[in-house]
Amino acid sequence: MNTERCVDFNQEQVVNIPRQRFVLPKSQRKSYRNILGGIYKAKKTDEQVKFVSFTTSDECANQESFTTNTLSDDFKLLTRQIKRLTPSKLVDDGYISKRQSGQYYGADNYEVKVFSDMAYFKVHTSEGNGVIHSLMRAPFIPYDYIVDLWTDLHLTWSINIQNLDLNNYSAQDCAGYIVAQYIGVNQGTSYLYSSQSKNWLFPGANKLWEDLKKTYLKDADDYIQYSIKTKQNQNKTISFWTHPYHKEEELSIHFDQLKIEWEHAIDESIQVPDFTYPAKKQNVNDLTPTELQTLELDVLNTLYIDSRINPRVAMNKHKPNKYYEYVEKRLDKKHIPRPTQEDLDQFYKVGDYINKGDNYE
């Protein structure tokens, strides 16, 4: 990638995205999905997305105060300072002219914190002394300003900034490029972990995806009991209840419906700034079908002791939940037998779940 310094947005380098296939383990598919969702959100709101690489110099790495958390901590400081930035500050410090301020941010936003809604997704790698490859969804930020700020915070001036060409490339192309270059295992990268800001998508986005999988990929009208071996004793098996996946020939149709619902949730988060999932519930009538199905399985598998859904409607560990009778009646109508308490105790100690949907993460 070209690391040429750029001051004018129209002259910034644009990422050249090759068409390629990549392989991801299950643990990293979430990164691809979140990158994809964040870029989809940028296209819907007509926002700019920049690919920015933050490196660590030897001078910084040799500091006595340098730790494994220094890179991440300095990145947090950088994003906080950018969010407090106003066009007038950039003009006063000589990074842009007042005419450019009006061109990039609008004449009425001279004293406004135009970067306050900046969102990011970042990937940490072990390249060199540590590198962060990030996607930043924000208005134009002068290259020299980011370089100076990163130099002050991290004693490193080497930064690469390029724009994602969202007009000529799809969200899938852009997300695939980032994943193939810095996350995909077949590229031999030094991927460590990834994270994102809350507003890159919306709070609870990953939980929503898992719930949508249960809704669209699993047959809620059917129940199946799995048996697994414990880690402590391979000769001992325990069992738990779940819904089976739809038949293989039906999964692709259901998965398309899942993606439509996922994009609809992102669209809603654009319209509602404080959108979150799940929404707070006051009574059982507020539960979605997916949440009600989850509650049923939790009740079935824990004998009313514990639940993994929203605490406001979950089973309470210390006293009977007010939805006990409601869920009890639903289960009785389906004639589902209860597992023994001994099996359940062993199951929750092991904490292993069977997931047949590896291809649909």
Q: What is the pLDDT of residues 160-175, one digit of tens each?
A: 888 888 888 888 888 8
Q: What is the pLDDT of residue 353?
A: 33
pLDDT, tens digit (0-9, with 9 covering 90-100), for 337-351: 655 555 444 444 433
Averaged over 141-152, what is the pLDDT?
94
Between 341 and 96, whose confidence is greater? 96
Average pLDDT, the chain: 76
Q: What is the pLDDT of residue 304?
A: 40
| 274 touches 117 (CB < 8 A) | no
pLDDT at 354 over 70: no
Q: At 44, which helix (H) or strand (E)?
A: helix 26-45
Between 286 and 354, whose confidence is greater? 286
Cα–Cα distance for residue pair 310/247, rounded to 1 Å:
30
pLDDT at 7 over 60: no
Cβ-count burial of 211 within 10 angstroms (0-12 exposed, 13-18 middle, 19+ buried)?
Answer: buried
Averaged over 145-152, what is the pLDDT?
94
- Within 10 A of 269 (CB to CB), how many other CB atoms are there? 21
Alpha-carbon distance values, 272 to 80, 275, 288 (Å) = 23, 5, 19
pLDDT, tens digit (0-9, with 9 covering 90-100), for 280-313: 665 666 667 777 777 677 666 654 444 444 334 4
Q: What is the pLDDT of residue 283?
A: 63
Q: What is the pLDDT of residue 218?
A: 79
| 105 touches 185 (CB < 8 A) | no
- Spatial CA neighbour of 182 closest among 124, 119, 128: 124
Between 69 and 240, whose confidence is greater? 69
Cα–Cα distance for residue pair 182/123, rounded to 1 Å:
7
Q: What is the pLDDT of residue 164?
A: 85
Averaged over 95-109, what is the pLDDT?
93
What are the tokens at 151? 């130099």
Q: What is the pLDDT of residue 327?
A: 66
pTM score over 0.85 = no
Cα–Cα distance for residue pair 248/239, rounded to 1 Å:
24
- The conformation of residue 53, written as its DSSP 8-state character, comes to E
Share of the chain above pLDDT 90, in %: 35
